[in-house]
Chain A
Amino acid sequence: MKTEELAWKRLHEHAAAQLSPGFADRVLRKAREASSPLLVSHFAMCAATAALCLVAVALYNAGSSSDEAAQSLAGWSEIAAQAGDLESGQ
């Protein structure tokens, strides 16, 4: 057998020896674990993140809306006061 062929044979033998006994059963166990709880927790996390984002947007909008309303009201009050001054001045 050529040196390189022998080297490949040794490579495969060495690699195969790295798999400890019961490998297939461990894989099946991990695959079973991976399919249900992980999916549920993944969806739960997505739902929680979406809910948090909605709450943050709602709070920001509520805050900025009331500020804007107060500013508009102040502006109109000033305009009304100035109009009143102009009328009384005429």
Chain B
Amino acid sequence: MDESSTPTLGERVRRAQRGDEAALRELIVSYQHRIAGFTYAITGRSDSVEDIVQMVFVKMARAIERLKAPEQFESWLFRLARNTCIDYLRRQRLRKMFVPFAPEHENVAEPEGAVDAEELDALRHALAQLRPKDRALIALVQEGRSHAEIADTLRTSVAAVKARLHRAREQLRQFYYSDEN
């Protein structure tokens, strides 16, 4: 397939907005793994990843018609994912307040065999020490997004992104390398 026939992201989004289900499917397939990685970095739970990612894409499918700037699809999608993950974590915290768990049910570890690499385990534990919003920020950087794109996703300034990112990275390194040792 030559490059001229490959639809741009904007074109695919516009087709999805017009109700083209094949275009919507293409968008899901293109982004599902990236959103899964992003979700896992924020929530730290393997068993919730599929449910949360599904929520994100169902919301995307229902709201895509209202997206005014199709070229901003990625920023919009990651903003949706970030908010969905943070809402999910907030609900989990509220649930813990109202449903008394026995001590053995608090801070449940990943299911056996779920995490099979030391490096991943160390990173997961280090990420768990950060606030969810800081995890989301670092996860956006890992997605290869620029400071300007992250500022657009989070609806804040580039200066604010740089300052928060610097602090979050320092904290992450501190926890990651102390955990590794």
Contact = CB atoms under 8 A, between A and B. Distances in A.
Contacts of B120: 7, 10-11, 14
B119 A30 contact: no
Contacts of A18: 36, 40, 46-47, 49-50
A24 B123 contact: no
Interface stretch (B24-32, B68-76, B147-155, B157-165): B24-32
Interface in A21-43: 23-28, 30-31, 34-35
Interface in B38-92: 39-41, 46-47, 49-50, 53-54, 57-58, 61-62
A4 B33 CA distance: 20
A3 interface: yes
Q: Is the interface of A mostly helix, strand, loop or mixed?
A: helix
Q: Is the interface of B mostly helix, strand, loop or mixed?
A: helix
B40 to A, nearest CB: 4
Contacts of A26: 54
Query: Most B CB atoms within 10 A — which of A11, A12, A35?
Result: A11
A20 B53 CA distance: 12
The size bracket of the interface on B is 35 or more
Given A16-B33, A16-B36, A11 B41 contact: yes
A7 B122 contact: yes
17 contacts: A4-B176, A7-B119, A8-B123, A14-B115, A15-B33, A15-B37, A15-B41, A18-B40, A18-B47, A18-B50, A19-B32, A23-B32, A23-B53, A23-B54, A28-B25, A34-B62, A35-B62
Interface of A: 3-4, 6-8, 10-12, 14-16, 18-20, 23-28, 30-31, 34-35
